[in-house]
Amino acid sequence: MDFKWLEDFMTLAETRSFSRSAELRGVTQSAFSRRIRALEEWIGTDLLSRDSYPVSLTPEGVLFRETAEEAVRMLNARRIEFREHSRARGAEISFLSLHSLSVTFLPGWLMRLKSVTGQMTSRVKPENFDRCVEALSEGGYDFFLTYSHPQVNIPLDPECYPHLVVGQDSLVAVARPGWPREWLTEGMPLLQYSRGSFLNQMTRIAQGQPGAPRVYVAHIDEASMAEAMKSMAVAGHGVVWLPRLLVSAEIAAGRLEVVAPELPMEIRLYRNPSRGRGITGKAWQAAEGLGQSYSETE
């Protein structure tokens, strides 16, 4: 059983609305419904009566609500205790980051951040976009580093989760040099991210720009790992849209070439303000200063 299922159930027991609960938990309604159903399957009985609106708890659901509330209370209390002990051992900041940013932008930027804040421990968890948003909402991390574009929704309330623009990148279509010129008329084989992934959304926007190549889907990466897609492009499987920071070395070395206009992207740092201890606030101020310095040099 996943611990977050208990928190999902408690939220639903309070709101009696799947749509409102999904919004509060920072996930889509379909994902939220699947998690509630997974909890019921794990328990072995229906916890909700879905025949009416608002939804109501079954007798088993009423009993389980008490168990869930006590379990969550005890686990959160123990987690707070352990984290207090960890903080007493030394200053630590924690980051969620998209996979590609964790290997391109984050290492150098984090060194600049530490040069301002002084020595501290950093903890980084690379994840896909949806899991990063979910984990930040659950409160286990201080910051979330992500790409951003005006046409892509980031489901974080700006009043609750402030952000800074800390850098810039672009999404660039690349292919191995020497690709057959008939691709221009017949369509280039496209290496596509999984349907629901963040980079797939960005690719659709980029592919809709004037000058984007005509394509057909030749390969789908279910894990949506940009690094894996880069390897496929270098091997000659087709064209793929990748963050420029991830492929700048391959472009410079002539192993990949740009075949379409680029799509500008911001690099944003989101903060969980509920984790307002001193080192987090200090890191946020340092990030804000670095962001201003970056803007002045642009």
pLDDT score at 104: 95
Cis peptide before 180 (omega within 30 of 0): no
**pLDDT computed for residue 119 by the predictor:** 77
pLDDT, average across residues 106-124: 89
Q: Which of 86-90, 117-121, 279-283 has the lowest mean pLDDT?
A: 86-90
The enclosing domain of 7 has a CATH number of: 1.10.10.10
Q: State the residue range of the domain holding 44.
A: 3-85
Query: Is residue 220 classed as helix, strand or coil in its secondary structure?
Result: strand
Q: How far apart are CA 173 and CA 189, in angstroms?
A: 12
Q: How many domains does the chain have?
A: 3
Task: Indicate whether 191 and 259 sit together in one domain.
Answer: yes
Domain termination residue (choose one: 52, 67, 85): 85
Rounded Cα–Cα distance for residues 265 and 150 (Å): 9
**Inter-axis angle of helices 244-252 and 226-234, to 10 degrees?**
20
Q: Is the domain of 33 the same as that of 105?
A: no
Residue 296 has what pLDDT?
47
Say yes or no: 71 and 8 in one domain. yes
Q: What is the CATH number of the domain that holds 214?
A: 3.40.190.10
* pLDDT for 180: 85
Average predicted confidence (pLDDT) for the chain: 88
Rg for the chain (alpha carbons), in Å?
A: 22
DSSP-assigned beta bridge partners for residue 191 = 219
pLDDT at 197: 87
Of the candidates 85, 119, 136, which is a domain's last residue?
85
Residues 289 and 258 in one domain: no
Per-residue pLDDT, averaged over 64-70, amounts to 90
Q: Is the same domain home to 137 and 257? A: no
Split at pLDDT 50, 70, 90, the class of 63 is very high
Match 């900041």 to its residue by tokens: 93
**If we measure between CA atoms, which residue out of 30, 57, 42, 48 comes closest to residue 5?**
42
Q: Domain of 286: which CATH number?
A: 3.40.190
> What CA–CA distance (Å, rounded) separates 287 from 269?
8
d(CA 4, CA 18): 15
